[in-house]
């Protein structure tokens, strides 16, 4: 085991975590721009990271049965979100798992990088290509593209805060 599987914190020590944590830091959601170990001092600010699958799947590619098996955990986690929250799905697997956990049909919420979907209680689901080594090395996902999703997330959260302050 290595990375998140060794540390217990998603994306810590993984290649995908390089872009994720740098972006979380840039937008104020993390106290450090990198995640190296579980005791590296990094803290998330008003953010939580979870996985659609809680086990270590063979080849690090979860199978549909594993995703279904773990969906109850994701359902429980998403049920604790405050009104107006933002959910970021990194890739189609995460997108589909989040929809299933929320009891929504995937046919009404097409995955696409940069897509936004209204879900329940003023919350929104934001889609991004996964920040994997393959996607970033091939240019399918660039830093600018990833940051644009975070711009949309911070805009949404600012609107929700303003609406709450006014109410």
Residue range(s) of every CATH 3.40.470.10 domain in the chain:
51-166
**Which residues of 71-150 form beta strands (DSSP E)?**
86-90, 116-118, 124-128
Is 143 in contact with 135 (CB distance < 8 Å)?
Answer: no
Tokens of 163: 């609406």
Q: Give residues with Cβ within 8 angstroms of 3, minimum separation 6.
A: 11, 12, 13, 14, 15, 17
Asked whether the predicted pLDDT for residue 119 surpasses 80, the reply is yes
Q: pTM of the entire structure?
A: 0.90
Please state the rounded mean pLDDT for residues 98-117: 95
- Kindly tell me if the per-residue pLDDT of 56 is higher than 90: no
CATH architecture type of domain 51-166: 3-Layer(aba) Sandwich (3.40)
Calpha distance 156→164 (Å, rounded)? 12
């Amino acid at each position: 085991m290595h990375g998140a599987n060794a540390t217990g914190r998603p994306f810590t020590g993984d290649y995908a975590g390089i872009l994720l944590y740098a972006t979380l830091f840039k937008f104020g959601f993390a106290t450090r721009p990198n995640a190296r170990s579980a005791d590296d001092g990094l803290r998330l600010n008003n953010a939580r990271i979870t996985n659609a699958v809680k086990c270590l799947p063979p080849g690090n590619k979860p199978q549909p049965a594993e995703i279904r098996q773990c969906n109850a955990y994701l359902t429980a986690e998403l049920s604790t979100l405050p009104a107006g929250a933002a959910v970021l799905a990194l890739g189609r697997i995460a997108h589909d798992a989040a929809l299933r956990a929320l009891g929504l049909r995937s046919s009404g919420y097409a995955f696409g990088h940069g897509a936004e979907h209204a879900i329940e209680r003023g919350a929104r689901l934001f889609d991004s290509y996964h920040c994997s080594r393959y996607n970033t090395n091939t240019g399918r996902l660039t830093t600018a593209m990833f940051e644009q999703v975070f711009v949309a997330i911070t805009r949404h959260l600012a609107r929700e805060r303003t609406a709450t302050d006014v109410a």
